[in-house]
Amino acid sequence: MKLRSFTIAARCGLVVVAAATAFAQSGNDEVHALQVRPNVYMLVGAGGNITALVGADGVLLVDTGLARNADKVLAAIRKLSDKPVMYIVNTHFHADHTGGNEKIGATGSFPTGGNVAGDLADVGKGAEIFAHENVLNRMSAAKSGVPVAAQPTETYHTEDLRLSPTFHFGEAVQLIHIPSAHTDGDSLVYFRRADVIATGDIFTPDGYPFIDLESGGNVNGVIAGLNKILDIAFPDFRLEGGTMIVPGHGRLCDIADVAYYRDMVTIVRDRVQDQIKKGKTLEQIKAAKLTLDYDPRYGTVPGSTDRFIEAIYKSLTQKK
């Protein structure tokens, strides 16, 4: 039992390390805010990107970065608003996106009332944390080591979850579940009025996608997620601007950037599929250098190319 618990903890740690390696986290961890809309900001440098919706009564965050950067994230938020963090949305469970949940969430509060507020003294304290149900399942697993205060408080198991504009600073926030993509609990977060999509790690334009197979990820889910973003997003003149896309890691993007990335992932998937049909083994496929044309752009982190090819191969050959 102890061995099993060590294995699970080690696996969780490996996922964080792999994710951090895959996306080449900056060493200095300075957190910067980039204004995307009058009320929406992208915070970079905390681990995974964070999207901040700033309202008159409080702040909604999509993801919270690494735990070690929580104070820096809070400092960056304080420059945008003196209101509490009322809501957190997690795009998936990895620690570079949920690590700040506990500390940042503890500084916040969310509105509640009626009988509930009278019956429970601590209700309304701390930010409300939204995520897909599978995020809670993974973070609350006995051996995950994630404290209860960092776990989602509100989950959904359907195709989407729509957060009421009444409470969310006039913004209609839609969580859209993409099954089996980067993990099995991914959500796109669509700010419908601001016209901004936070993608989590389904879209990481700085490198090949990191597909967490052990947590239910699959390359076809990543492609489905990218196509879903293209379905929702609407470009402005000449395929530029319009819906703005905050990726899980990397720079601010728009629909054209997602299209380039979707093309790349689809083309590499097709090449691996072709090799599988020809009876090639994983090692033969890795040796074939099928991503030579994309490696200088997306495969600059050592090992990321092989990891990507392996994830595609296993995605396409695993028994359903």
Partner 1 sequence: MRRLIRRWAVSVSLLAAQAALAQVDFSGEWAPRFHEDQPERVPGPELGDYLGLPINEAARMRANTWSASMMTLPEWQCRPHSADYIWRGPSPVRISQEVNPLTRQVTAIHAEWLRSIDRPIYLDGRPHPPDYAAHTWAGFSTAKWEGDMLTIYTTHLKEGYIRRNGMARSDKATLVEHWMRHGEFLTVVTIVTDPVYLTEPFIRSTDYQLDLHQQIPPYPCEMVQEVERPKGDVPHILPGENTFLNEFPAKHGLPAAAAMGGAETMYPEYRKKLKTMPKASPEAAKQ
Q: Which residues bind partner 1 (CB under 8 A)?
A: 32, 34, 42, 44, 223-224, 227, 230, 235, 237-241, 244, 250-257, 259-260, 262-263, 266-267, 270-271, 274, 288, 290, 292-297
Least distance (Å) from partner 1 to the CB of residue 73? Answer: 15
Contact between residue 83 and residue 58 where contact means Cβ atoms under 8 Å apart: yes
**3-class DSSP state for residue 298?**
helix
User: Which residue's CB is nearer to partner 1, number 262 or number 286?
Assistant: 262
Least distance (Å) from partner 1 to the CB of residue 31? Answer: 11
User: Which residue's CB is nearer to partner 1, number 214 or number 263?
Assistant: 263
Least distance (Å) from partner 1 to the CB of residue 1? Answer: 44
Cα–Cα distances (Å) from 310 to 118, 173, 210, 211, 224, in that order, read 54, 35, 11, 10, 19
Least distance (Å) from partner 1 to the CB of residue 39? Answer: 18
> Whole-angstrom Cα distance, residue 172 to residue 179?
22
**3-class DSSP state for residue 2?**
helix
Least distance (Å) from partner 1 to the CB of residue 20? Answer: 17
User: Which residue's CB is nearer to partner 1, number 117 or number 292?
Assistant: 292
* DSSP string covering 61-106: EE----GGGHHHHHHHHHHH-SS-EEEEE-SSS-HHHHTTHHHHHH
SS3 content of the chain, % helix, strand, coil (to 5): 40, 20, 40
Least distance (Å) from partner 1 to the CB of residue 164? Answer: 30
User: Which residue's CB is nearer to partner 1, number 106 or number 259?
Assistant: 259
User: Which residue's CB is nearer to partner 1, number 141 or number 292?
Assistant: 292
Residue with tokens 């061995």: 3
User: Which residue's CB is nearer to partner 1, number 77 or number 253?
Assistant: 253
Contact between residue 226 and residue 319 where contact means Cβ atoms under 8 Å apart: no
